[in-house]
Every structure is written in structure tokens, then in C-alpha cells.
Copies of this chain bind each other. A is one copy, B any other.
Amino acid sequence: MIQVIKFPSRSDYSELCARPQIESSKIGSLIESIFNKVKTDKDKALISLTYEFEKREIDTILYTEKEIDDYSKATDDDLKIAIKIAFDNIYKFHEAQKLVEKRVETSPGVVCWQKSSPIEKVGIYIPGGTAPLFSTILMLAIPAKIAGCSEIVLCTPGIHPAIFYTAKLCGITKMCKVGGAQAIAALALGTPSIPKVYKIFGPGNQYVTAAKMHANSMGVAIDMPAGPSEVAIFADETSNARYVASDLLSQAEHGVDSQVFLVSTSETLIHDTIHELESQLIELPRKELAKEAILNSKFILVNSSDDAIDLLNEYAAEHLILACDDPEKISDKIINAGSIFLGHFTPESAGDYSSGTNHTLPTNGHARAYSGVNLDSFCKKITLQSISKSGLEILSKSIIPMAEAESLQAHANAVKVRLNNGL
């Protein structure tokens, strides 16, 4: 039975928005031993671990350019066109995020600015399994390329032709056959075949997630903490229950742990959506997964759009669909969300694939503090400053008393020696 909650009081919002506790994984020692093996035996460890965990025999670590070419050829022509449309839109949106350099004279003779510099070496992980997530290659490799990352290493056990096609299209610099925690270990530590990278991106199972956390604790940056995917929808009396149901299902089919959260000011809409869900669900190939996710979902009837906004800000959804009239009025008041989809013709699946926005987004309430992947995820912002002698003279009235009050005399001296003695 779908849970329908009517007019919850504000004191219940926090409880309503709580995600299921993710069991803190007990695989730490396994992950540590995988890292140790990769550190010691490098490429040889990758070959043996791939056989041990996947019963897959590989004799080299990287695909050759010719292999990538050959495997990509089996990609269907329509799919190539589809990928190219998505590529162009994602490229346009992320390119528009480039930093415009702005020099600020904070005080006469004191000029400060930021520059954006690519993270030189990045790693992208794409899982194997039933759904070949070539779309995630687009989402991670395109901004890496725009940022100017010189080494973009893709690790994947996946073998769908579109994975190879997309990798080639996006300018992946190295493509590696290894998957699982051992792939993350290789990216974090480096091997003769796989360069050590400074940041690791991409989804994965609990082993991959734990390995990314382990890499992070060693000082390698990661995209964001992982959690099950989720959608929240706000629907009012103008919403189309068929559309709303289709969006809920497109989230639910990801897996049994997918989070689905519907907030509405219309009881009729909730009723109709439940009816629509039943008829759309039976047609789905992944109906067993979707059904279980839907049974864990929450449908919440609220008194007003203001209540809905508060509840949605408390929830901090990865994806938030505003399936209502005048959605910008609502979105202006949303402060916590990964990505917002406005209006009746903006399904989440547009952003998952082709509209141009990124689909790597913060789950599990992390949207309260984290952004989704964007161009900045592949850059560092370096600050720069240039001060003239007269500029330093003005600043000295601030620097010297503050440094001395903090008992840092040498900090004050660095200004004093410059002002008493020209070059």
C-alpha cells in the first residue's frame, strides 16, 4: 500500500523527510586489503582481482585505441544521433559556466582576482551490470574536457558498444577494463597502466562507494557522497496525473531503494496518480523493482503551496519536479535541491539524458550542503593578488596591528621590511 499522509503538522516534517538509514558498510577490511594488493602488485593485482571477483580474464589493463574504435562500431545509428544531441546540449550548458575573470581593486593599489585551473588528472568510474550508463560518461567527461583536464581516465567493466562510442566522442584519454573497488584503488594509487588521479567521479555499488570513501580519506578528492537516487514532485490541481505517475516510475525503476516523494495540494491529483501508477507499472520491464520502490514512497497532502515549499526544502531532493502552474514562483523559494524541473513538460528524464544539465546530483539530503557536478567540479579556483608599494602602505595599517595582536610578529615584519627599504 502506498502511504498517503494527509496534512502533516510542521513538527512532523523532519521525520517525514528522513531517508532510510544506510547501514554503515562492514566491508572496510576488504577494501583495505584490495588497496594494499593494488599498492604492492599494481597491474598484476588488477588482473588477479578481476578474475577473483568477476571471473573475467583480462591480459591487459587498458583498451587500445583500435579496440575502442572496433567495439564502438556496433552502436546503432539512431543511438549515435541521440548521444550526439545530448553531447551538444551538455557541452553548451557546461561551457556557459566558465569563470569570467574579474579583477577587483579592493583598496587603492591592491588588485585581487580568481582564475580557474583544471584538475590535471581525473578518474571516472562507470559500473557494468544491466543498465549500461553511457549517459554518465557524457555527464562527467564533457565538463572534464571543457575544464581542460589533461588526463581523463575511464574505468569500467561495462562492454556495451555505446560506452565505447561515448568514451571516444568525449575525448577520454585512457579507458581501463577494470571495475569494482580495485579500479578505484588503481585510480587513487596509480599503476604502470593507470595514472594516479587527483579526483574520482562516478556511481557504483557499495564496494565502489566504500573504495571512493577510502580514497577520499587518503586525500584523493571525490565528486560527492553517494546514496540512492530520489525524486520529489510538487503537483497541484493543474497537474496531469499521467505525467506525474510516469515521473515517479522513472525514478522508481532505478532500484528498490529509490526514493519517491509526492507532495500535493490536491487530493484528487493524489488519487488519480495512484490509479495511473497501477496501469503504467504493469507495462514496465523493470516492474518488480519499481513496484517495491513505489510501495516505500510517500504521498503527502498539504494545505498550501507554502507548506509544500517548507516540506520540500526540508527534504532537499536530488531531483525536484514542479509540475504546477507558475513553477518559477515556487522555485524561487526552493533553497535545497539538486536540480529543479519546471512545469508540465519538463520530466526528470530530460535532465537525466539530454537537456544539458548534469545528472550527477546530491542524494540523501546532501543537497543541503553539496552542489551537483558542474564545470567547477573539474577545476580549482586559485586566487591571485598584486600589490603596489603604495597599496601595501595603506594595507599596513591593517596588517601590522592584526598580526601583532595575533602574536605573529614575522607576519608584521614582512610588511615592515618592504616599507622601510625600497628595491
Contacts and interface: CB of A to CB of B under 8 A. Distances in A.
A61 interface: no
A368 B106 contact: no
A372 B382 CA distance: 7
Nearest to A247: B414
A131 interface: yes
**Identical chains in the assembly:** 2
A417 interface: yes
Contacts of A284: 409-410, 413
A9 interface: no
- Of listed A199, A286, A357, residue having the most chain B CB within 10 A: A357
A413 to B, nearest CB: 5
Given A86-B402, A366-B219, A386-B342, A410 B290 contact: yes
- Indicate the size class of the contact surface on chain A: 35 or more
Contacts of A408: 131, 250, 253-254, 286, 349
A250 B399 CA distance: 12
Contacts of A399: 82, 349-350, 352-354
A342 B162 CA distance: 48
Interface stretch (A46-54, A90-98, A171-179, A262-270): A90-98
Nearest to A276: B417
Interface in A260-313: 280, 283-286, 290
A383 B388 contact: no
A100 B391 CA distance: 29
Contacts of A380: 336, 362, 367-371
A402 B112 contact: no
Contact of A160 (B334, B362, B405): B405
A346 B85 contact: no
Interface in A120-134: 120, 130-134
Interface in A310-364: 327-328, 331, 334-358, 362, 364
A348 B414 contact: yes
A39 to B, nearest CB: 14
Given A246-B417, A286-B407, 17 more contacts: A79-B402, A117-B335, A117-B336, A120-B336, A135-B402, A198-B369, A221-B369, A221-B370, A240-B423, A285-B407, A340-B384, A340-B385, A345-B387, A347-B414, A349-B408, A353-B402, A374-B381
In the A-B complex, the 6 residue pairs with the smallest Cβ-Cβ separation, listed nearest first, are: A106-B356, A85-B398, A82-B401, A354-B398, A221-B369, A347-B414
10 contacts: A88-B107, A107-B355, A119-B368, A219-B365, A286-B407, A347-B392, A349-B403, A354-B395, A367-B382, A371-B379
